[in-house]
Structure 1
Amino acid sequence: MRGGRWRDEEKRRWSARGHRHRPRGRRRPGHRPERSEQEEPQTSVNADPSSSGNPSSSSLTQNSVVPELPGFYYDPEKNRYFRLLPGHNNCNPLTKESIQQKAMESTRLRLLEEEEKQNKKTTRAGLNSSMLLQKRQLGLLSSTSYCRMVHELKVNCMQRRKIEIHSPDSSVAGTNNFKIIVADVACERIFTVNDVEHGGCKYGIINLSGLGKESLTVEMYDNLYFTNRKVNSVCWASLTHPDSHVLLCLMGIAETPGCASLLPASLFSSTNPGDRPGMLCSFKISTAWSCAWCLNPQADNCFSTGLTRRVLVTNVVTGHRQTFGTSSDVLAQQFATQTPMLYNGCRSGEIFSIDVRQRNRKGQSWKAIRLFHDSAVTSIRLLEAEHYLMAADMAGKIKLWDLRTAKCVKQYQGHHNEYAILPLHVNEEEGLLTAVGQDCYTRIWSLQDARLLRTIPSPHPASKDAIPSVVFSSRLGGRRGVPGLLMAVKQDLYHFSYN
């Protein structure tokens, strides 16, 4: 009896002393102490659902208290560490890249499922069609604001439908990956560039008039052209009438120099070589990163190409050229329409304008406006009044610059880019900004307040050769066309139509 009471009394003493006085024993191999409630991982909330698969937002040290061990990764679902294999010669190697891709693909599939279930909500509380109509009838909304808010509401309800492409050449439709699609001003046609499996590109024109029908089919023009060179840049050109031609910049290979080709749009729709009206010309030129056509009458019939450390402005009719030396490669260009000014975005992050009428081009004195990004500028877009300029860079920053004060007035958050040259699409009438990120998500913002309205996942798994190319318009197919987003990815063409 005494022995039993003594042992009970000793147990109470050990319990009262606490953990620090407990005798330490050897841990079992693989044993981990349990975390307390205060040590639970603290995850961050991001407005963009696709960011959960972003490597920058998936770091263990940023979003949790679990330490990062070299050569290991922590699986929160299984609550344990796993070894990362160093090479790719092993069977099913486990690397950080594969882990990140798996997380991104899981997020994409979840978002696609939500899209199909139409589990989409407007970004503004209480925004609905009846409320907008009531405010408009009471005079609380101007016609411009009402139109902008209706488009914002419709963008959140767009539904994806696959488009059937009718082509005279069955070897093109559905077999080659889309690389670029560019719509003309009226959005009646799109110029398409497709990568060919064994190298080179095929290009042609698709008529969008069939989008207004329930069959949802589009017709590719009869003539398709092939080149064994890479197409770096494309824009529509108005030489004889609006969007009468297409300007192509082809990269040089081996002993073949690069060139800029001006092709009449009628070239793609005519089956008889004798029925191909319009000017067809080609200019030998070193590799061009960008191109732009001038619509200002003071620099009539001129186009520009952005080259390595210089800008070349060429008159199509006379062949006269002007060269402007720069300190960096010119990756993006656009002409103003109200003045003969050419805006350029450089790899160095500089944005500058050129008055193409001037003759003195010594030094840097010819640069009229100079703005600066922290990374390479990949796209620039002038707004209609030409007081503002939108620019995107390789750091994923999208900024709206006031050209009168040379200051950034708005930033549009959520865009993802690391090294790709990706375009911006500005639709002022609808009040929308659209951009596709290197993560293959299409994002739409409100121009007015920079609010992210919609993040659209790609129908295909994300990869370098599957970045979608898009066109947005309220008149796809012409004046009586349908509103929505046109997306080309892999071999498929999709229409995101208003509900």
Structure 2
Amino acid sequence: EDPSSSTSTQNSVAPELPGFYYDPEKNRYFRLLPGHNNHNPLTKDSIQHKAMECKRLKLLEEEEKHNQKTARAGLNSSVLLQKRQLGLVSSTSYCRLVHELKVNCMQRRKIEIHSPDSSVAGTNNFKIIVADVACERIFTVNDVEHGGCKYGIINLSGLGKESLTVEMYDNLYFTNRKVNSVCWASLTHPDSHFFLTHSSKLCLMGIAETPGCASLLPASLFSSTNPGDRPGMLCSFKISTAWSCAWCLNPQADNCFSTGLTRRVLVTNVVTGHRQTFGTSSDVLAQQFATQTPVLYNGCRSGEIFSIDVRQRNRKGQSWKAIRLFHGSAVTSIHLMKAEHYLMAADMAGKIKLWDLRTAKCVKQYKGHHNEYALLPLHVNEEEGLLTAVGQDCYTRIWSLQDAHLLRTIPSPHPSSKDAIPSVVFSSRLGGSRGVPGLLMAVKQDLYHFSYN
């Protein structure tokens, strides 16, 4: 049973009465009130929240006692090693199953964040963390008290088996707009910059006071070198509300990035400034470029997923759409698999599906994810054979890519709330090629490392 799923609080002996709630601990009925009431906060929402919090605390207690159930019945390290020695398991399957066992035994430890500016570390809530390709650094977006967001980079080189310390470099750059999406960009060298999209800022009348914008910032802004040597903002341009962004690594569309806007896709060349606009029938909430071809995949609020070959010129209508897939709800995240024959997609109904792009059919579904309206990312690690996603219920779930088996459900260290949804990064090499395996979780002002046992 999923620890975050709601269960009936009605006692099997006590009959259910409309408009009343039966508390089995106090053995009596209480009247339910519509909405929220500060004097008597007994509502359906408060009852459900209380039940979910009890389950979260219970699961945290079980994890502290290391009472997690095995990911697969009858499978442990000794049995797996014996099968490998007998030649019953291939090397690829053996590595994948080892990761499954290790993930099930991960233990949470809090990381100490150091910063040259002592006022930076631990003062603002984490909103987004995104790792570079080598997992040596993570770019962070933090909420600030007066509204808006602030940026930083955390260097993971100090994260070892014994050390639980990382360095965080902050910068004076901040925005009073909401940051909707972030991705790393390889302009002068791999992961040299990061690209952000911001929402429009509304005035009291609900009219856009300032438009949305997209910013391309060099990662050197957040280095420990002399501040006077740091370059300024490379690129910033005004656009309508941007929901998503993606950077292209294919040489046929070099130095290009895309932004998913309201009912259109905008592809821009950073060097030449050339733009291509593709009109859509819905808001574009998720994007990713292929690497083998200059093709851009897009996920929409309508549930449609489609691809664009960016070498073609602008066309009227929708004739430029190549592959077309359909979800039953708004698509919040997409991930193109390494061979580029399959695409993973998640939606606002909590569905996670693996699509075969050659047949345009769903081949697998990963059950247990929870979402209703949030833009939540997917984290796919093909080498380890794992899929990770954080739900709107603040639970982090890890599945096997191979057979969609739910391996582990991790509760948040903080009580569940809309502003406390964890942001995570998983890698078998956190800190670089000689790094440590595990899961990084940023929630509220804290950073945690779930390390392999």
Q: What TM-score comes out, normalization by structure 2 length?
A: 0.94
Distance of 2:349 and 2:59 partners within structure 1: 25
User: Which string of whole-angstrom CA distances, capped at 9 and with x for unpartnered residues, describes residues 30-62 of structure 1?
Assistant: xxxxxxxxxxxxxxxxxxxxxxxx999546599
Residue 216 of structure 2 corresponds to which residue in structure 1? 262
Contact 1:296 1:339 survives alignment (8 Å): yes
Contact 1:333 1:343 survives alignment (8 Å): yes
Distance of 1:270 and 1:300 partners within structure 2: 30
Report how far residue 153 of structure 1 moved.
Answer: 0.3
Distance of 1:261 and 1:157 partners within structure 2: 40
In structure 2, do the counterparts of structure 1 residues 398 and 467 end up closer, same or farther at CA, with 3 Å as the change threshold? same
Is the counterpart of residue 67 in structure 1 residue 22 in structure 2? no
Contact 1:178 1:490 survives alignment (8 Å): yes
Q: 426-435 or 280-289, which moves further after superposition? A: 280-289
User: Which string of whole-angstrom CA distances, capped at 9 and with x for unpartnered residues, describes residues 237-293 of structure 1?
Assistant: 001111010101199995322211111111111553542359711122111000000
In structure 2, do the counterparts of structure 1 residues 58 and 224 end up closer, same or farther at CA, with 3 Å as the change threshold? same
Contact 2:158 2:431 survives alignment (8 Å): yes
In structure 2, do the counterparts of structure 1 residues 117 and 358 end up closer, same or farther at CA, with 3 Å as the change threshold? same
Distance of 2:170 and 2:284 partners within structure 1: 35
Distance of 1:302 and 1:87 partners within structure 2: 48
Q: 469-478 or 279-288, which moves further after superposition? A: 279-288
User: Which string of whole-angstrom CA distances, capped at 9 and with x for unpartnered residues, describes residues 49-84 of structure 1?
Assistant: xxxxx9995465999696643321233444543211
SS at match of 2:206: coil
In structure 2, do the counterparts of structure 1 residues 474 and 71 end up closer, same or farther at CA, with 3 Å as the change threshold? same
**Equivalences for 1:154-165 in 2 at 5 Å?**
154-165=102-113
Report how far residue 368 of structure 1 moved.
Answer: 0.3
Report how far residue 169 of structure 1 moved.
Answer: 2.5
Distance of 1:326 and 1:313 partners within structure 2: 13
SS at match of 2:159: helix
Contact 2:4 2:52 survives alignment (8 Å): no
Distance of 2:94 and 2:397 partners within structure 1: 22
In structure 2, do the counterparts of structure 1 residues 59 and 495 end up closer, same or farther at CA, with 3 Å as the change threshold? closer
Report how far residue 135 of structure 1 moved.
Answer: 1.8
Residue 432 of structure 1 corresponds to which residue in structure 2? 386
- Larger Cα Rg: Structure 1 or Structure 2? 1
SS at match of 2:73: coil
Contact 2:6 2:51 survives alignment (8 Å): no
Q: 74-83 or 378-387, which moves further after superposition? A: 74-83
SS at match of 1:419: coil
Distance of 2:291 and 2:375 partners within structure 1: 24
In structure 2, do the counterparts of structure 1 residues 461 and 184 end up closer, same or farther at CA, with 3 Å as the change threshold? same
In structure 2, do the counterparts of structure 1 residues 63 and 270 end up closer, same or farther at CA, with 3 Å as the change threshold? same
Distance of 2:205 and 2:333 partners within structure 1: 19
User: Which string of whole-angstrom CA distances, capped at 9 and with x for unpartnered residues, describes residues 425-483 of structure 1?
Assistant: 00000000000000000000000000000000000000000000000000000000000
Contact 1:352 1:369 survives alignment (8 Å): yes
Residue 127 of structure 1 corresponds to which residue in structure 2? 75
SS at match of 1:221: strand
Contact 1:445 1:452 survives alignment (8 Å): yes
Report how far residue 126 of structure 1 moved.
Answer: 2.0
Distance of 1:74 and 1:203 partners within structure 2: 48
Report how far residue 85 of structure 1 moved.
Answer: 2.5
Contact 1:123 1:453 survives alignment (8 Å): yes
Q: 338-347 or 163-172, which moves further after superposition? A: 163-172
User: Which string of whole-angstrom CA distances, capped at 9 and with x for unpartnered residues, describes residues 392-435 of structure 1?
Assistant: 00000000000010000000010000000000000000000000
Distance of 2:15 and 2:262 partners within structure 1: 45
Report how far residue 198 of structure 1 moved.
Answer: 1.6
Distance of 2:151 and 2:206 partners within structure 1: 17
In structure 2, do the counterparts of structure 1 residues 383 and 122 end up closer, same or farther at CA, with 3 Å as the change threshold? same
Give the superposed CA RMSD: 2.5
| Greater strand fraction, Structure 1 or Structure 2 | 2
- State the aligned residue count: 446
In structure 2, do the counterparts of structure 1 residues 88 and 359 end up closer, same or farther at CA, with 3 Å as the change threshold? closer
Contact 2:4 2:55 survives alignment (8 Å): no
- Which one of the candidate residues 76, 83, 89 is aligned to 2:37? 89
Contact 1:182 1:471 survives alignment (8 Å): yes
SS at match of 1:261: strand
Residue 237 of structure 1 corresponds to which residue in structure 2? 185
In structure 2, do the counterparts of structure 1 residues 218 and 59 end up closer, same or farther at CA, with 3 Å as the change threshold? closer
Report how far residue 371 of structure 1 moved.
Answer: 0.5
Report how far residue 225 of structure 1 moved.
Answer: 2.6
Report how far residue 333 of structure 1 moved.
Answer: 0.3
Distance of 2:15 and 2:349 partners within structure 1: 28
In structure 2, do the counterparts of structure 1 residues 90 and 279 end up closer, same or farther at CA, with 3 Å as the change threshold? closer
Q: 300-309 or 73-82, which moves further after superposition? A: 73-82
Q: 458-467 or 272-281, which moves further after superposition? A: 272-281
Report how far residue 140 of structure 1 moved.
Answer: 1.8
In structure 2, do the counterparts of structure 1 residues 64 and 313 end up closer, same or farther at CA, with 3 Å as the change threshold? farther
Identity, in percent, stands at 93
In structure 2, do the counterparts of structure 1 residues 59 and 125 end up closer, same or farther at CA, with 3 Å as the change threshold? closer
Contact 1:303 1:314 survives alignment (8 Å): yes
Contact 2:393 2:416 survives alignment (8 Å): yes
In structure 2, do the counterparts of structure 1 residues 91 and 167 end up closer, same or farther at CA, with 3 Å as the change threshold? same
User: Which string of whole-angstrom CA distances, capped at 9 and with x for unpartnered residues, describes residues 341-368 of structure 1?
Assistant: 1000000000000010111421111110
In structure 2, do the counterparts of structure 1 residues 55 and 216 end up closer, same or farther at CA, with 3 Å as the change threshold? closer
In structure 2, do the counterparts of structure 1 residues 271 and 498 end up closer, same or farther at CA, with 3 Å as the change threshold? same
In structure 2, do the counterparts of structure 1 residues 277 and 61 end up closer, same or farther at CA, with 3 Å as the change threshold? closer
SS at match of 2:338: coil
Report how far residue 143 of structure 1 moved.
Answer: 1.6
In structure 2, do the counterparts of structure 1 residues 87 and 294 end up closer, same or farther at CA, with 3 Å as the change threshold? closer
Contact 2:276 2:314 survives alignment (8 Å): no
Contact 2:3 2:56 survives alignment (8 Å): no
Report how far residue 171 of structure 1 moved.
Answer: 2.7
Contact 2:141 2:151 survives alignment (8 Å): yes
Report how far residue 203 of structure 1 moved.
Answer: 0.6
Report how far residue 132 of structure 1 moved.
Answer: 1.7
Residue 478 of structure 1 corresponds to which residue in structure 2? 432
Distance of 1:66 and 1:364 partners within structure 2: 58
Contact 1:252 1:259 survives alignment (8 Å): no
Q: 480-489 or 192-201, which moves further after superposition? A: 192-201
Gaps of 5+ in 1: 1-53
In structure 2, do the counterparts of structure 1 residues 224 and 134 end up closer, same or farther at CA, with 3 Å as the change threshold? farther
Distance of 2:156 and 2:205 partners within structure 1: 29
SS at match of 2:122: coil
Distance of 1:66 and 1:399 partners within structure 2: 41
